[in-house]
Amino acid sequence: MIRLLVFASGRGTNARNIFALAKEYPKQMEVVGLVTENPTAGVLQYAKSEQISTMVVPLPTDASGSSRRSEHERQILKAIKHLQFDYICLAGYMRILTPQFIERFPHPNWSVSKIINIHPALLPSFRGMNAYQQAFDAGVKVSGVSVHFVDAGVDTGPIIHQRTFPRLATDTLESFTQRGLQQEYRAYREMLMALATGTYTVVDEPFFLYIQMVGEQ
pLDDT digits (tens, 9 = 90+) for 175-195: 999 999 999 999 999 999 999
Tell me whether residue 72 is one of the annotated catalytic residues: no
The helix or strand, by DSSP H or E, that contains position 165, with its residue range, turns out to be: strand 159-166
Residue 90, classed as helix, strand or coil, is strand
More confident residue, 202 or 17: 17
Condensed to tens digits (0 to 9), the pLDDT of residues 45-90 reads 999 999 999 999 999 888 777 788 999 999 999 999 999 999 999 9
pLDDT band for position 11 (cuts 50, 70, 90): very high
Contacts by residues 192-196 (CB-CB < 8 Å, ≥ 24 positions apart): 192/2, 192/4, 192/18, 192/21, 192/29, 192/89, 193/21, 193/25, 193/28, 194/161, 195/2, 195/87, 196/1, 196/2, 196/25, 196/28, 196/29
Residue 204 has pLDDT above 90, yes or no: no
Domains of the chain: residue spans and CATH: 2-213 (3.40.50.170)
- Look at residue 65 in the predicted model and tell me its pLDDT: 74
Residue 195 to residue 22: CA distance in whole angstroms: 13
Residue 4 has pLDDT above 70, yes or no: yes
- Look at residue 145 in the predicted model and tell me its pLDDT: 97
Mean pLDDT value of segment 145-153? 96
Residue 127 has pLDDT above 50, yes or no: yes
| Bond prior to 124 in cis (omega within 30° of 0) | yes
- Which residue of the set 72, 107, 119, 148 is catalytic? 119
- Look at residue 133 in the predicted model and tell me its pLDDT: 97
- Look at residue 62 in the predicted model and tell me its pLDDT: 80
DSSP state of 167: P
DSSP state of 154: S
Residue 138 to residue 136: CA distance in whole angstroms: 5
Residues 161 and 147 sit within 8 Å (Cβ to Cβ): yes
